[in-house]
Amino acid sequence: MKEFQIDQLIKIAIALSAEKNIDKLLDMILKEAITISNCDAGTVYVREGEQLFFHNTYTGAAGFPDDMSSKKKSMPPLNLSREYVSACAVLDKKKINIADVYESEEYDFSGAKKYDAMNGYRTKSMLVIPLEDDKSEVVGVLQLINAQDSNGEVIPFPVEVEDIIAALASLAAVSLTNRRLSQQVLDTLHSFVEVMVEAIDTRSSYNANHTKSMVSYARKFLDYVGQKHDSRPLTDEEADSFLMSVWLHDIGKLVIPLEVMDKATRLGDKKAVVKNRVTVACLMEEIEGLKNPADKDKHEAKIEEIRKAYQLIDESDTKGFLPDDVLDNLRAAAKLQILDESGKEIALLTEDETVAITVRKGTLTDEERNTMQSHVVYTGKMLDKMDFRGIYAKVPGWASSHHELLDGSGYPQHKKAEDIPMEVRFLTIIDVYDALTAEDRPYKPPMPTEKAFGILDSMAQEGKIDRNILELFKESKAWER
């Protein structure tokens, strides 16, 4: 019997070390404890602060419902006071073995007696063992009821069983503690992610919903693929590691200047300076006309020329795309000589302003675009400073590669297909899709879904993104709100 129990304990230890779900782990412990002690019923309480929370019950008694675990959320917690024997085991950090609770004078069993009366049951022998971790902290309680002999008669819990159950309880406590510590680390990581994303969203009114939208697409897509296409759906940890990379993919934007990240027009902050320069130039021409009435028509014509040049600049500042003829006219307008407040002749636009207003598509100059694109480099550097391990080890690499394209034309490392994993391929697709359809971008209106997928289809035909994943994304309709 003892050899069997020791072998069984070793098997349980191996099983406990492999089980990651705390609910299943505690259920496994309870059932094994009941089997080893040959008792009628048992309960596990988990300690949270100064209370014991009912976790699960397992019993074969006819007077109990078959499934007590369904009631665990409605059962009130026990305060750590001496009116409860389970609380006494915690407070005293000791095993409690009672032959007959109705005859005990040392502990208050009024609660057990009341429960017996409600269920037509008779609690007699009881073994209560605190779940004590390796630091002597009590993290829960294992309570067993009514040990039985081979004939099914209720007997006291034998001392030798007490030792084995205590060993099992100790092993359970350490496993439970390790799981809790692991969960605390993960919770801290998730909290950090939420803080960082909130910081990005708060810093810029534009782009605020981008990350949240992408996470929503990713969750729905993973669920769809797991149900419809994948022979082995991702574990919770595997899915979480990928979602973590989605949450963090734009963390590098924290260091991008707002005047670049939120630049809604080509000139941006330069627009006010140009407008003021035009106003001064027109006033100077008007003054010159007043000084020299004979040249008044010439100065009025100059004012009209300046205003037309500024009108072209103003209209071009917000257009999505500028054709060659407009760019040529803008360059000519930029060189128009005007008077400053001192009467000195200067060009209508400075060199930097000319570069900005002649951006063919979008609002960013090449220099500003390089600055903006550097956010993925900063994402990699920032995440590399964090200690991602195990299943989360690839999070920094995935997050910092979402602008890489299969043909090597992406950035920052110009990776090619063989170096771009499936996770990154999907991340790239949803990043492009949301960028095209987002309603909060300062430099363009949202694009209809059909047109966005048309652009993605073209990218797939050009070998830039993964066609199979794109088709799965369409099929999943994860993009639907």
pLDDT digits (tens, 9 = 90+) for 54-76: 877 766 544 344 444 444 545 78
Length, in residues, of the chain: 481
Q: Looking at the structure, do residues 249 and 282 belong to the same domain, yes or no?
A: no
- In this predicted structure, what is the pLDDT of residue 306? 97
Q: Of the candidates 345, 362, 379, which is a domain's last residue?
A: 362
Q: Answer whether residue 395 is part of any domain.
A: yes
68 and 165 share one domain: yes
DSSP for 321-367, please give it: B--HHHHHHHHHHHT-EEE-TTS-EEESS-HHHHHHHT-SBSS--HH
Cα atoms found within 13 Å of the Cα of residue 260, Cβ hemisphere only: 16
Domain assignment of residue 197, yes or no: no
Judged on CB neighbours under 10 Å (0-12, 13-18, 19+), 451 is exposed
The answer to the question of residue 447 being in a domain is yes
pLDDT exceeds cutoff 80 at 119: no
Read off the pTM.
0.71
Evaluate if residue 104 carries a pLDDT over 60.
yes
Assess contact for 52 and 87: CB atoms under 8 A: yes
Q: 401 and 457, same structural domain?
A: yes
Do 95 and 8 share a structural domain?
A: yes
Q: pLDDT tens digit string along 288-316?
A: 999 999 999 999 999 999 999 999 999 99
Query: What per-residue confidence (pLDDT) applies to 69?
Result: 44
d(CA 54, CA 170): 19
Give yes or no for residue 212 having a pLDDT over 70: yes
Q: Are residues 19 and 50 in the same domain?
A: yes
Residue 7: pLDDT over 80: no
Position 229 pLDDT exceeds 80: no
**Judgement on whether residues 408 and 281 belong to the same structural domain of the protein:** no
Query: Looking at the predicted structure, is the pLDDT value of residue 449 above 50?
Result: yes
Whether 479 and 439 have beta carbons less than 8 Å apart is answered as no
Closest to 402 in 3D by CA, of 248, 181, 208, 221 = 248
Residue 186 belongs to a domain: no
Q: Is 45 helix (H, G, I), strand (E, B) or coil?
A: strand
User: Which residue among 334, 362, 390 closes a domain?
Assistant: 362
Who has greater pLDDT, 49 or 29?
49
- Please tell me whether residues 380 and 426 are part of one structural domain: yes
Q: Given this model, what pLDDT does residue 373 score? A: 94
Q: Which residue has the higher pLDDT, 79 or 10?
A: 79
Q: What is the CATH number of the domain that holds 459?
A: 1.10.3210.10
Point out the least confidently predicted range of 107-121, 265-279, 371-385, 396-410. 107-121
Across all residues in the chain, what is the average pLDDT?
87
Phi/psi region, residue 137 (left: phi>0; alpha: psi -120 to 50; beta: rest), is beta
Helix (H, G, I), strand (E, B) or coil at 201: helix
First-to-final CA distance of the chain? 61
CATH assignment of the domain containing 42: 3.30.450.40
Establish if 282 belongs to a structural domain: yes
Q: Are residues 334 and 282 in the same domain?
A: yes
pLDDT value of residue 472 = 94
Of residues 99 and 64, more confidence is placed in 99
Range with lowest mean pLDDT among 37-41, 142-146, 225-229, 245-249: 225-229
Answer yes or no: is pLDDT of 33 > 90. no
Q: Are residues 42 and 162 in the same domain?
A: yes
> Which run of H or E residues covers position 138?
strand 138-148
Question: What six digits make up the tokens of 395?
Answer: 């999070």
Confirm if 68 and 165 have CB atoms less than 8 A apart.
no
Report yes or no on 187 lying in a domain.
no
What distance in Å separates the CA atoms of residue 85 and residue 95, rounded to the nearest whole number? Answer: 10
Q: In terms of domains, do 112 and 226 share one?
A: no
Q: How far apart are CA 155 and CA 143, in angstroms?
A: 16
Range of lowest pLDDT (53-67, 351-365, 394-408):
53-67
Q: Which amino acid is at 216?
A: S
**Of the candidates 245, 240, 186, 230, the residue with the CA atom closest to the CA atom of residue 376:** 245
337 strand-pairing partners: 347
Check whether residue 33 and residue 107 sit in a common domain: yes
- Continuous H helices in 82-158: 85-92, 110-119
**Domain boundary residue among 362, 394, 419?**
362
Residue 103 lies in a domain: yes
471 vs 57 pLDDT, higher one = 471
Same domain? 354 vs 375: no
Query: Range of 436's domain?
Result: 204-258+371-476
The confidence score (pLDDT) of residue 271 equals 96
Query: Band of the pLDDT at 443, cuts 50, 70, 90?
Result: low
Nearest to 343 by CA among 288, 274, 269, 402: 288
Overall number of domains in the chain: 3
- 460 neighbors 466 (Cβ within 8 angstroms): yes
Give the pLDDT confidence score for residue 60 in this predicted structure: 57
Whether residue 140 lies inside any domain: the answer is yes
* pLDDT attached to residue 63: 39
